[in-house]
Structure formats: C-alpha cells, structure tokens
Amino acid sequence: MATPNTTLWEVFIRSRNGLAHKHCGSLHASDATMALQAARDIYTRRGEGLSIWVVPSSAITASDPSEKGMMFEPAESKIYRHPTFYEVPEEVGHM
Amino acid sequence: MATPSIKISETPLVLHVLRRADDALILGHRLSEWCGHAPMLEEDMALTNMALDLIGQARELYSYAARIEGKDNDEDKLAYLRDERQYRNLLLVEQPNGDFARTIVRQFFYSVFADLYWRAMMRSGDATLAAIAAKSEKESAYHVRHSSEWIVRLGDGTEESHARAQAAIEYLWAFTGEMFEVGDDERGLIDAGIAVDAGKLRAQWLKIVSGIAAEATLTLPSNDWMQKGGRAGRHSEHLGHLLSELQMLQRSFPGATW
C-alpha cells in the first residue's frame, strides 16, 4: 500500500515499569497524534506496552554505516572495559 | 441454506442483550470487511482492531443472552443461526462501508453513543451487564478517540476529504435517531435499574458530536426525520447480504470449527 508524503515515525515501547523504552519499529502517519494511535494499534495489540514514544524518523541522527570501522572497531580490542575482572559478592544478587 | 434458523424466547432482558450484541457483531463485521483494503497499512490495523473489540463484546453479550434464555442456544447459534428479522441491531451499523469517510463517520456516530451507553450501563443492577460495560467502555473510549481524530482531519483536511466527510454525515444522519429509541419492552428494565435509558443520552451525544464536527468545519444536518426499524427487526436491504456472508460457513457446515 503506497503512502506518499506521509511522515515516517520511529516507535519506542516501554513494556514494564522500570524498563527503558525500546525501539520496536516504524510506521507512517500524518502527524504525532495519529502516529501515537497507529503505534498503539500496530505494536501493542498483544499487550506489549505500558508507554509509547513516537519520534519523527527525520529527527534521528544516525551513524554512517560506511564509517563503522572508525566508529566501532577501536572498542573491540579493549576487553578491560568490560566489568568482568572482579567477582560480584553473592549477596549482591543479579546485577 | 442447509441449517434452519433457531427460535428464541424473547423475554425483555434477552431482547435487550441481543440488541447490544447485534450492534457489536454487525459493526464488527462491517469493519472486518476493510481487512486488507484500508487506505494505508496503519489504518488497516486500526479498523480491524476495532472490529475485534466489537466482536469480543458481541461474544460476551451473546453468551449472556444464551445463559439468561436458558435454552439450548449458545453464542455461535445466536450469531450465526438467526434470520434477518431476528437481528435487532441499529440500521446505522449495517450500512455499507462506502468510502473511508463514511466508515469513519459511522464509527464516530456509533462510538460516541456506545461510550455514553456503556458508561451508564456500568451502574446497572445486573452484575454481568455492569462487568461487560466496564470492559467495553475502555474499548469504545478509544474508538471515539480514533474516529474523532479522523473526523477532524478529514473535515479540516483537503477539499476532497471535506466533501466526502460532509456527504457521509448527510447520508448517515437519518440513522442516528434510532440509537436513542427505547422500546416498550425496555421500560420495565429501565425502571428496575438494569437497562440504560438511551433517550437520556441524546443531549450529551449531540453535544460531543457537534463539538467535533465544529472543530472539523463540518455541518450537522438540521433535519430531524429519522429512519427506524432495526430494533424491531425491520432492516435495510443491506443486512441480508451481510448475513449471507457472515453465516454461510455455519449454515453450510453446521458446527464447523478450525
């Protein structure tokens, strides 16, 4: 189905209290109100959400896939940045 | 048709519940006809979501009608094995989808009414009806929200969308009076605090509908001649065609499941 000239929106859903909104997809809608309703109808029909954010896709500044070598590879060799070099006391539980 | 129609003991309460159930089933079926045909994918989902809300309401109401009737009937038989004259839905909800504007205006007129109705029914002395109303009200509140946002956008949109929305209002207006009709058989239920007096909802309905129409730069017709008959089983020519599609499977293969 063609949807010419209709703004593209990114949809973020928070599934439970205490969790962050998570990107779950995109949709077309003429404005923010309709985007929110469409997000409700498309992405929360199976009880997935307690809160919805919609953001115009044009508002997102994205990294350039062709720069991923420069952007991300330098981090790969720095395993000491992972918090895995100490033991978590059992009393702390799940972190 | 291979399967004969069922007979129903139409006590006032059974009739009262069937009227609500038939409204929901027939409008739900109409909306389901949009599945795969809506102007955009997002609205395809919105319309069929509303259809499922309504069919869910119909199921609960039919189950309850069958229970209070206390015969051999169940929700499926009530939905699929009655003749046209046994359906008690509003003429409004059986009107064909037309263009998108007509579908939205029909939904808007009905949903504003249904939401007021369910809200009042939540105070019913009948615990089952009160519970069904509480669940349905949340659904109809969203249907009001969704359809009224569209009314504003169609009415206050382009010249074309305005003309279509205005034409839809004029076409459907004569079917709105029936919503506020109260049958003689319902008086006793209203006095007993079980049923809602629909007539008392008219002023509020008109206020909400006028407000949205004004925002949408649309004009409500001034004529107050209204079509009637659905509540008594006298329908427009459209219901028979709808039922032939709705009932075909159960009539041809009784009790079919999948």
> Given a cut of 60, is residue A3 above it in pLDDT?
no
Predicted confidence (pLDDT) per residue in B115-131, tens digit: 999 999 999 999 999 99
What is the model's pLDDT at position B130? 98
For residue B223, the model assigns a pLDDT of 84
Residue B130 placed within a domain: yes
- Asked if the structure places residue B119 within a domain, the reply is yes
What is the pTM assigned to this prediction? 0.91
Give the pLDDT of residue B188. 96
Q: Residue A89 in 3-state DSSP?
A: coil
CB within 8 A of B198, min separation 6: which ones?
Answer: B113, B117, B179, B180, B181, B182
Closest to B80 in 3D by CA, of B256, B230, B223? B256
Which residue in chain B is spatially nearest to A44 when comparing CA positions? B49
Going by pLDDT thresholds of 50, 70 and 90, the confidence category of residue A17 is confident
Q: What is the pLDDT of residues B166-201, one digit of tens each?
A: 999 999 999 999 999 999 999 999 999 999 999 999
Which residues span the domain enclosing B89? Answer: 12-252
Query: Residue B6: inside a domain, yes or no?
Result: no
The whole-number pLDDT of residue A95 equals 64
- Within a domain: residue B24? yes
From residue A8, alpha-carbon distances to A4, A35, B88, B130, B233 in Å are 10, 9, 43, 41, 46
Domain A7-63 has CATH 3.10.20.520: yes
Tens of pLDDT along A33-84? 999 999 999 999 998 899 999 999 999 999 999 999 999 999 888 888 887 7
pLDDT at B63: 98
**CA-derived radius of gyration, chain A:** 19
Q: Is residue B257 part of a domain?
A: no
Output the CA–CA distances (angstroms, integers) from residue B22 to A58, B89, B92, in the order listed. Answer: 45, 5, 12
Task: Give how many domains chain B has, as a whole number.
Answer: 1
Domain boundaries, chain A: 7-63
Instruction: Say which residues have a Cβ less than 8 Å from residue B76's Cβ, sequence separation at least 6.
Output: B250
Is residue B193, in this structure, part of any structural domain at all?
Answer: yes
Q: What is the pLDDT of residue A81?
A: 84
Q: How many Å lie between the alpha carbon of A1 and the closest alpha carbon of chain B?
A: 6
What pLDDT does B64 receive? 98
What does the pLDDT average to over A1-12?
A: 80
**Contact indicator for B143, B135 with CB cutoff of 8 Å:** no
CB contact under 8 Å between B46 and A28, yes or no, is: no
Q: Which residues of B touch A45 (CB under 8 A)?
A: 45, 49
In a domain? residue B4: no
Residue B254: other Cβ atoms inside 10 A: 14
CA distance B51 to chain A (A): 12
> Could you list the pLDDT tens digit for every one of the 258 residues in chain B?
468 899 988 899 999 999 999 999 999 999 999 999 998 999 999 999 999 999 999 999 999 999 999 999 999 999 999 999 999 999 999 999 999 999 999 999 999 999 999 999 999 999 999 999 999 999 999 999 999 999 999 999 999 999 999 999 999 999 999 999 999 999 999 999 999 999 999 999 999 999 999 999 999 999 889 999 999 999 999 999 999 999 999 999 988 887
**A residues 6-65 near B, CB within 8 Å?**
6, 27-30, 33-34, 37-38, 40-42, 45
